[in-house]
């Protein structure tokens, strides 16, 4: 039965997690095709969501700006209240998000049962005893609302204008339309998740020598120094576009690449979502929880170490779990899967 209602999705805060929610958003849209669906997100996630055709409205919630104070959050809740939503799915586990939907007067409020916020929800979904993959975690809220959750593949929406801008970036970097690109993404939001730069450099040299590819280093502006280190270690030449792309331009470029090699990061999940061949390098984080998911041309490489996984010790200077992954491990996967 097609039901028309106004639905609010209070989304999560990080790029990779936003991609994990894309199957959830699709499930809600397909269950309620006639409904108005709005999504609340923080500014850093704006670019990835504003092109999502399954969403009718994007509402920015900026805890570092207008919504930083309690008064700011109250104003935000009252602004949402004027929109008269019927149902809220609270994907974020915070108390504050649940409180905002309560103040906003949304009659049906669905979220996971977490500490001290149960009374703010009209439907508390119990947490699983075993930590599921993040895709399954978010889909659990849709399933609790009686929604079909059989489709689990990522989605990422790229416009023709995004592809055009991406083409200009590649042209400016001296990359031709017919060049075979291997994209290396050496960055990560914390150091222990990163594969050593010298291993990336060795891999790049061997790929250029063996396959004649163009190696492209991707990343944010903060990764420029890391890219410079990587390129400076190489015997051959790579091209860095760190800081040159927005999220959707990056997605367009990764879609064009023959192969993407990356640690556990947002760009890795973007590459999977656009159908690229992906080798994902995992160390301290669990691929069972935050690894690539659904259909796709991806391979996860990880080594069994003595450390407990997932490990969130940001002070770890050993990084043995990532160092244990050899360049030959990556090359063997490329040959076996015929990625190049």
Share of the chain above pLDDT 70, in %: 99
Domain boundaries, position 276: 160-337
Tens digit of each residue's pLDDT (9 = 90 or more) over 167-213: 999 999 999 989 999 999 999 888 889 999 999 999 999 999 999 99
Is 226 part of any domain?
yes
Band (pLDDT 50/70/90 cuts) for residue 1 is very low
Tens digit of each residue's pLDDT (9 = 90 or more) over 274-291: 999 999 999 999 999 999
In the three-class reduction of DSSP (H, G, I as helix; E, B as strand; rest coil), residue 260 is classed as strand
Is 222 part of any domain?
yes
Is 150 part of any domain?
no
End-to-end alpha carbon distance in the chain = 47
Q: What is the pLDDT of residue 129?
A: 83
CATH code for position 49: 3.40.50.2000
DSSP string computed for 195-248: PPHHHHHHHHHHHHHHH-PEEEE---GGGHHHHHHHHHH-SS--EE-TTS--HH
Q: Are 183 and 259 in contact (CB under 8 A)?
A: yes
Q: Are 110 and 8 in contact (CB under 8 A)?
A: no
Is 260 part of any domain?
yes
Is 326 part of any domain?
yes
The total of structural domains in the chain comes to 2
Which residues pair with residue 282 across a beta bridge?
302
Q: What is the pLDDT of residue 2?
A: 54
**Residue matched to tokens 């200009």:** 168
Band (pLDDT 50/70/90 cuts) for residue 46 is very high
Q: Are 236 and 255 in contact (CB under 8 A)?
A: no
- Of the candidates 224, 228, 273, 229, the residue with the CA atom closest to the CA atom of residue 250: 273
Tens digit of each residue's pLDDT (9 = 90 or more) over 57-69: 999 999 999 999 9
Asked if pLDDT for residue 214 goes beyond 60, the answer is: yes
Asked if pLDDT for residue 165 goes beyond 60, the answer is: yes
Residues 330 and 219 in one domain: yes
Is 80 part of any domain?
yes
């Amino acid at each position: 039965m097609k039901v028309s209602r106004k639905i609010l999705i209070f989304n999560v805060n990080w790029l990779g997690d936003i991609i994990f929610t894309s199957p959830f958003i699709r499930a809600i849209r397909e269950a309620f095709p006639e409904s108005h669906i709005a999504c609340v997100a923080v500014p850093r996630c704006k670019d990835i969501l504003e092109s999502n055709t399954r969403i009718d409205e994007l509402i920015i919630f900026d805890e570092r700006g207008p919504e930083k104070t309690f008064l700011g959050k109250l104003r935000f809740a009252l602004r949402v209240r004027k929109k008269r939503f019927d149902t809220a799915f609270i994907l974020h586990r915070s108390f504050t998000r649940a409180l905002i939907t309560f103040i906003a007067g949304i009659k049906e409020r669905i979220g996971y049962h977490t500490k001290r916020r149960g009374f703010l929800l009209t439907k508390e979904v119990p947490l699983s005893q075993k930590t599921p993959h993040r895709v399954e975690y978010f889909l659990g809220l849709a399933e609790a609302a009686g929604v079909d959750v059989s489709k689990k593949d990522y989605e990422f929406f790229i416009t023709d204008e995004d592809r055009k801008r991406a083409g200009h970036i590649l042209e400016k970097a001296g990359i031709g339309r017919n060049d075979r690109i291997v994209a290396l993404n050496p960055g990560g939001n914390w150091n222990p998740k990163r594969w050593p730069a010298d291993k990336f450099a060795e891999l790049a040299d061997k790929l250029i020598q063996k396959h004649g590819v163009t190696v492209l280093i991707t990343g944010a502006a903060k990764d420029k120094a890391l890219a410079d280190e990587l390129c400076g270690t190489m015997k051959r030449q790579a091209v860095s576009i760190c800081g040159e792309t927005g999220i959707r331009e990056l997605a367009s470029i990764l879609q064009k690449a023959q192969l993407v090699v990356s640690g556990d990061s947002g760009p890795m999940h973007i590459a999977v979502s656009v159908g690229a061949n992906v080798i994902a390098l995992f160390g301290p984080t669990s691929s069972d929880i935050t690894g690539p998911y659904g259909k796709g041309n991806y391979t996860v490489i990880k080594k069994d170490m003595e450390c407990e996984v997932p490990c969130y010790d940001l002070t770890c200077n050993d990084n043995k779990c990532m160092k244990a992954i050899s360049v030959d491990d990556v090359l063997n996967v490329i040959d076996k899967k015929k990625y190049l």
